[in-house]
Structure 1
């Protein structure tokens, strides 16, 4: 299977698209200045105790107080509190956790009111990002994640990934980690550690230990609520979770990010460093590799998948509902039962892809086409389990109910990715009145004149819809060429498939967006054109 990764770095957000055999299977979008992301560690203060929920609301600086359940305190919470007390009593040095004697575990069935106090200082980690009207979910079981290992302070346990199958390798890794692990630090050995040498594991373990010490030192110097630890590079953090040495290529359109990713790949897979490639063309990277078109066709309420069949996806606060429809299939089987089985199997393929693509979590209910034969229902259940096997998120699939419904629960730590495929009319701004599209070229020329003559901007790129680009460049003496001769040729006009028909976007030489679009633009062009027409009529 040919797997490729495409990274689109924009000033405000980063998008990572994963394709398998040129088919989009995963899309991640994240703001570059995002706060309260999974894995971030905050110095926070207990705001309110809720005995009925056996939980506390904690102030981490977000609009809504974060939620900390008693079970998320961890069994070693007593040792954790003693360590923080030592750290805040003497802020000139970081206490040595390895020399500390761990206290007994807290009661699993204890009460939050007996364990926490109002205004108590805590070092907490985000385990679930803010979703809808809910604040972040927290834990005091701090972890630091690397490529091969996960470091867990206040623990002595070593866990090995279940995806490492051979007993010999599990024993080898356990012995290696035991030989390098400091006291009072637990370690989870990740799947990617399989076959790695002790020097590589030891280097990463020391890096994670340094992160722990720096985090405690930052907390000692800070006043709550304060962010005390985040990933060095959010992009590398996103890449770490999806990276595989089997990738054929990783394309990135930003030089700085290219350097970060090259360095990361050279550390974890030196023999694969050449797969990281810098994309330096002016055409948008997702357009060039046919990702934009797949995004437009894969998101939205209705998704077609084969021979006229389609699925309808509805999102609610509590669950996601998917309805399978056979549509007007032209090459349907002779009997309805075989036809239903075929559509359902192909729908299962698409649904498994959509769950990964949209990162849908929580409860998913699927209404498949009814099938009478028990062996067909079992075949569909087995097939769904098979196509979901590669899904990294924890999930559970139940067999079809007597109503023909399949229920899936899937881990949700981030809001579901909902890409809006419908385009707001850039001509009327949603008001329903559209100016003549023929006058759009007048608007573009006015903007070019304003950029060059008034703002003195050079070497910029104006992106327009591909249809508009074709119109501007048609003929030997095209509009585009005439504008360049008249205004000076220090700009480019390029197509961008992500834009609406009468929409444009301008980037300067540093790839920063120059904001120019205003609602009055087309009205101004229309007025000027009418005035020109009146002047010509007077002259006649």
Structure 2
């Protein structure tokens, strides 16, 4: 399987698309001013205890107080709290974890009131980003993730990913990490560490320990609630989690982000640095790689797949419901049972893709087409479980119920991805009335004349819908050549798939959009 990462860097956000064999399987949007990312560590302050929930609300600087349950404190919470007290007591010298007092694990069924008090300062980590009306979900069991290892301060346990099946390799990795890890630091060995040499693992472990030391140092200098360790950018975070030898290309349309990601790829896989590509094409990067069209087709309420069959996806606050329909699909050489099995198997592939693509979480109820034979129902269940192995989110799949409904629970740590594929008309703005479309090219020419003669801007881009761009290039001589003869060769016409049919934009040589609507309409 060939994987590509397409990174679209815009002024307000970064959108990251993962393609597998040219098919879109994951889409992530990150605001450039985004805060409270999963993995960030904060010095927070307890604002309120809720004994009835056995939880506390903690101030981490978000508009809503963050939620911390007793079960998320971590067994070594008392030892961690003692070390934090020493860190804040002496702001000139970083205390040694080895010399810090160690406490027994807190009881699993204890009370939040026994270990926390209002106003207490504590280290917390974002476990879930703010979703809907809820603030962040926190954990006090800190972890710092790398590509091969996860460092857990104040723990001595070494554990190995269950996806590493070889018992010999599990033993090798565990003994290796136990021999090089610092005392009072636990380590989780990730799946991608399988087969790695001691030098690679030791190098990453040192980097993770250094990041923890930096967090402690920043805590000493802090004054009140503040972030002390921020997760690496989401672009690099996704690469860290999904990078594999099948990656063929990483395309990025911004030089600064390109340099950042290139440096990280050279660090983790020097032999793959050639896959980094800085995109300088004329077309928008998503249009060039066919991502825009797939987004429009895959994020609607109705999603079609093989031979006329389709899914209907309904999203609610509590759960998601997916209905499988065969549509107008028919096969003369197969009976109803075989046809239902074939549609269900194909639907399962698209459903698993949709779960990753939209990052659906919570309870997902899937109403498959009814099948009578038990072996067919089992075959469908096995097929879904195998497909879900590619999903990095924690999940659990239940067999089909007697009503033909399959239930899947899937962990969600970020808001579900929702893309509205319906478009408000960019030319009438919902009024239902536009100027005569046959005059559209005349409007473009008038505004082009205003750009050149009044604004004295001869080098610019004109972005239009692909159909309009094709029309402007048609004929001999084409309208484009007539305009170049009249206004010079400094402008370019760029087709944009995201645009409405009569939508357009003029972009100056600095990359800024020039709003000509008011000037031209007033002048006319």
TM-score class, shorter-chain normalisation, is over 0.9
Contact 1:43/1:223 (<8 A) preserved: no
CA 1:474 to 1:336, structure 2 compared with 1: closer, same or farther past 3 Å? same
Contact 2:149/2:187 (<8 A) preserved: yes
1:376 aligns with 2:376: yes
Q: Secondary structure at the match of 2:95?
A: coil
Within 5 Å, which residues of 2 pair with 1:116-195? Answer: 116-195=116-195
User: Partners of 1:272 and 1:408 in 2: how far apart?
Assistant: 36
1:386 aligns with 2:374: no
Shift of 1:381: 1.1
TM-score if structure 2 supplies the norm length? 0.94
1:14 aligns with 2:14: yes
Q: Secondary structure at the match of 1:227?
A: strand
In the alignment, which residue of structure 1 is the partner of 2:495? 495
Contact 2:151/2:208 (<8 A) preserved: yes
CA 1:343 to 1:220, structure 2 compared with 1: closer, same or farther past 3 Å? same
User: Partners of 2:122 and 2:268 in 1: how far apart?
Assistant: 34
Within 5 Å, which residues of 2 pair with 1:172-251? Answer: 172-251=172-251
User: Partners of 1:94 and 1:396 in 2: how far apart?
Assistant: 43
Q: Which residues of structure 1 form unaligned runs of 5+?
A: 529-540
Q: Secondary structure at the match of 1:179?
A: helix
In the alignment, which residue of structure 1 is the partner of 2:95? 95
In the alignment, which residue of structure 2 is the partner of 1:344? 344
In the alignment, which residue of structure 1 is the partner of 2:361? 361
Shift of 1:200: 1.6
User: Partners of 2:160 and 2:516 in 1: how far apart?
Assistant: 55
Shift of 1:140: 1.1
The answer to which of 159-168 and 309-318 deviates more is: 159-168
User: Partners of 2:406 and 2:312 in 1: how far apart?
Assistant: 15
Q: Which residues of structure 2 form unaligned runs of 5+?
A: none
Q: Secondary structure at the match of 1:8?
A: strand
User: Partners of 2:449 and 2:57 in 1: how far apart?
Assistant: 55
Q: Secondary structure at the match of 1:85?
A: helix
User: Partners of 1:226 and 1:451 in 2: how far apart?
Assistant: 48
Contact 2:458/2:487 (<8 A) preserved: no
User: Partners of 2:123 and 2:34 in 1: how far apart?
Assistant: 20
Contact 2:82/2:100 (<8 A) preserved: no
1:403-453 CA deviation, whole Å, 9 max, x = no partner? 111100011111111111111110122233333333443554455455556
In the alignment, which residue of structure 1 is the partner of 2:513? 514
1:139-159 CA deviation, whole Å, 9 max, x = no partner? 111111111111111100111
In the alignment, which residue of structure 2 is the partner of 1:263? 263
Within 5 Å, which residues of 2 pair with 1:251-330? Answer: 251-330=251-330
Q: Paired residues, what number?
A: 524
The answer to which of 442-451 and 65-74 deviates more is: 442-451
CA 1:457 to 1:13, structure 2 compared with 1: closer, same or farther past 3 Å? farther
CA 1:177 to 1:451, structure 2 compared with 1: closer, same or farther past 3 Å? farther
1:5 aligns with 2:16: no
Shift of 1:509: 4.5
User: Partners of 2:383 and 2:335 in 1: how far apart?
Assistant: 21
Shift of 1:474: 2.5
In the alignment, which residue of structure 1 is the partner of 2:43? 43
CA 1:441 to 1:147, structure 2 compared with 1: closer, same or farther past 3 Å? same
In the alignment, which residue of structure 2 is the partner of 1:534? none
Contact 2:125/2:140 (<8 A) preserved: yes
Q: Secondary structure at the match of 2:101?
A: coil
The answer to which of 305-314 and 185-194 deviates more is: 185-194
Contact 1:326/1:343 (<8 A) preserved: yes
Shift of 1:128: 0.4
The answer to which of 126-135 and 429-438 deviates more is: 429-438
User: Partners of 1:219 and 1:121 in 2: how far apart?
Assistant: 11
1:65 aligns with 2:43: no
CA 1:146 to 1:448, structure 2 compared with 1: closer, same or farther past 3 Å? farther
1:19-62 CA deviation, whole Å, 9 max, x = no partner? 22222222222212211111112222111111111111111222
TM-score if structure 1 supplies the norm length? 0.92
